[in-house]
Amino acid sequence: MLTRILLIVLIIGLGSAECEFSIMSFGDFNLTSEKQLKDIIKKENVFLLGLTSGDCQGCCESENFYQTLMETLDKYRPRIPFIRHNLQKSNFISKYIPEQDKLPAIYGVKKGTFFKYHDMQDSLKILRFADRLISPVFYMKNLTEVLEYLNPATGGFNSLKLLAVLDDSDLKQDYEKSVEKLGNWFTTEIRAIIDRNLIKELRKIRPDIGYNTLILIRQDDTKMTDILATENLYKWILNNCVGLVEELTPYNFQMYSTTTIPMIILFLDPKNHYHNNYIEEYKKSARKFEGKIRYSWLDATKPDYIEKRRRLGLVTEILPSIAFNVRNQIIYPYPEGMEFIEKNIDTFAQGYIDGKKSNQPTFYTPKDINLLSCKNLKYDDFEDVVYEEGVDVVLFLYTSHNHKDSEKFSNVFNKVCEKFTDLGYKSLEVYVYDNAVEKPYKTLPTGKFPRVLISPAYSKNDPLVVFNGEFNVEKIMKFVEKNADVQVVIPDENEDNKENMQEIKALEDTDGEVKGKEEL
C-alpha cells in the first residue's frame, strides 16, 4: 500500500514538475514597452532579441540555453546585448515583426531592421549570426588569397562563396545591405575587393572578371553578374545560390529556406538502382519551372525525414514521392503511386501554381485488392526470398493505397498465382509486394505501378527483368516462361480450350442420347 502511495506521489510530482528556470530569467534587459525598444535601437547598432511567452509550450525549457548564450556573449567583444520580450504581456512588437512563427525565437536587430535567426540552439552559431550583422563582408587585400578563393570549394558538403569586385566605392554600402539578410547562411563566405590596384592586378590574370562584378562560386558552377545592371542583387543571389536540383542538407538548408518561391521536395533512396533515372525526370521538370519553383531532394531513408513526409501528406512507403514544402502550411502531395515521369511532375507543379487544391487522402486508404491466391512478401524477407540462388522468383509490385490500376489488375495477377500454384513448379516462386506498406527494396523500379518482375534463378546479380506487355494472364505467363532460368512449360491456352470444348460437346452428346432413349 505504501509503495502504491509513493508511486502516485511520484507520478503527480513528475506531472507537475516545472522548468528549472522561469521565462525571462536570462538576458541583459527585459523589454516592456515600445519606447524602450526605440531607445535601444538608437543606442545599439546591433543587438539580439529573444522572444518568449508565458503560454508557449517549451519556452521555459529554452532558458537553460539562454543561460549558456549569455555566458558565450560575455566572452567576446564587442559585447552584443541580448534583449528579452514576453509576447504574452504586450504585442507592440508585431509592428516590427508582423509574421511571428514558432516560439521561442531569436532575432538580430540592426538599425531598426529585424532579421530572424533560423537554426538550432547553438550559442556559437548565434554569435556568428550577430557578427554577420555587425560586419557582413570581409574585405580582401591579397592577390594570392583572392585567386585561391576563386577556386570552387572542394569538400564533403555544400558551400557557397561570394566575391564582389567593387571599383565604384559607392556600391560598398549597397552590397553590404544586400548580404545582411544572409546572416543565417553559415556555410557561405561573403567577401569583397575595393582596392583598385588589387582589382587591376586581378584583371590581368582574370580578364573575364569585370569591374563592379559579383561572383558566386558553388561547388558545381560559377556565376557572375554586373552589379550596376542587376536590379536586385539579393534576389539574384537567392536565384543562383543552389543548383537546379540539389540534395537538401543542413549545409544548404538556410539557402533553400530563405527563398520566397515555393519549394518541392523529392523523397527517394540514393542507393536505389534507379536513383539517377528519377533525378533526371525531376530535372527535366525543374528546368521548365526555374525561377517559379525551387526543386530539391532528400534522402528518405533517414529516420528524421519519415515524420516530414507524413506532415507533407505522403502517407505510404512509396519512393520516389514528392510534395510541396511551403510556409502557408498547404498540403499538396504528388499522387502516391502515379507514374513518376516528367509530364506528370509538370502537371503536378503547374497545378500548385494555378491554385488547385489537393484531393489526395491524408491517411492510408486501401483499395479493394484481390490477391487472395498469392503469397505476400515482406521487406525484411525480400533479399532472402528474391535472391535465393536456383529459384526463379516472380513478383507483382503494386500499391494498395488509392490506386485504381493496382486494384484493376490485381484480379489478373491473382489468376496468374492460381495457375502457377496448379502447375506446381518447385523451382518457381510467385509473390506480391505492396509498396504502400512495405519499404521499397533498392533493386525495385518503383516509379510505376503495378509491375510484374522476375528474378531469374541464376542471374541474381543482374537487374530484375520487367514485364512490359499487355496485362493479361496468358502474356504474363509466357513472359515468365521466356525469362525463367529453370525451364517451365506453360500449357497452351488454345489447346486447353479445345480440349474443354471437346469434353463439353461429348457431355452434350451423351445427354442427347439419354434424352432420346427416355422419349422412346
Q: What is the 3-state secondary structure (H, E, C) of 281-348?
A: HHHHHHHHCCCCCEEEEEECCCCHHHHHHHHCCCCCCCCCEEEEECCCCCCCECCCCCCCCHHHHHHH
Closest CA to 80 of 107, 118, 116, 119: 107
| CA gap 55, 41 in Å, rounded | 27
- pLDDT at residue 281 in the model: 98
Q: Which residues of the chain have pLDDT under 70?
A: 1-17, 99-101, 154-158, 493-520
pTM > 0.95: no
Q: Give me the pLDDT at residue 18, please.
A: 73
Q: What is the DSSP annotation of 386-405? A: HT-TT-EEEEEEE--BS-HH
Residue among 121, 97, 101 at smallest CA distance from 327: 101
pLDDT the model gives residue 16 = 36
Q: Which of 215, 217, 238, 245 is nearest to 227 (CA)?
A: 215
Closest CA to 402 of 334, 497, 322, 486: 334
* Order of strands across the sheet that contains 160-165: 138-139, 188-193, 160-165, 213-218, 222-226
d(CA 155, CA 270): 19
Distance separating alpha carbons of residues 8 and 6, to the nearest angstrom: 5
Question: Cα-flanking dihedrals φ and ψ of residue 188, to 5°?
Answer: -110, 130
> Which pLDDT belongs to residue 320?
98
User: CA dihedral defined by 467, 469, 471, 473, rounded to 10 degrees?
Assistant: -80
Q: Using alpha carbons, select from 262, 331, 362, 267 the residue that is nearest to residue 305.
A: 267
As a whole number of angstroms, the distance between CA 116 and CA 181 comes to 9
| Rg for the chain, CA atoms, rounded | 33
Q: Which of 214, 232, 211, 235 is nearest to 223 (CA)?
A: 214
DSSP string, 144-210: HHHHHHTSPP-SSS--EEEEEE-SSTTHHHHHHHHHGGGTT-TTEEEEEE--HHHHHHHHHH-TTS-
Q: Judge contact between 240 and 233, C-beta under 8 A.
A: no
Q: What's the pLDDT at 464? A: 97
Give residue for cell 570549394. 153
End-to-end Cα, the chain, rounded Å: 97
Sign of CA dihedral 305, 307, 312, 314: positive
For residue 130, list its beta bridge partners.
none
- pLDDT at residue 183, rounded to an integer: 86
Confidence (pLDDT) at 519: 46
Q: In what order do the strands lie in the sheet with 29-31?
A: 29-31, 82-86, 46-52, 105-110, 113-116
Domains annotated for the chain, with CATH where assigned, are 29-132 (3.40.30.10), 136-241 (3.40.30.10), 252-354 (3.40.30.10), 375-494 (3.40.30.10)
The β-bridge partners of 114 are: 109
Contact yes or no for 110/46 (Cβ under 8 A): yes
**What pLDDT does 100 receive?**
64
DSSP assignments along 131-146, one per residue: HHHH---EEP--HHHH
Helix-helix angle 233-240:171-179, to 10 degrees: 50
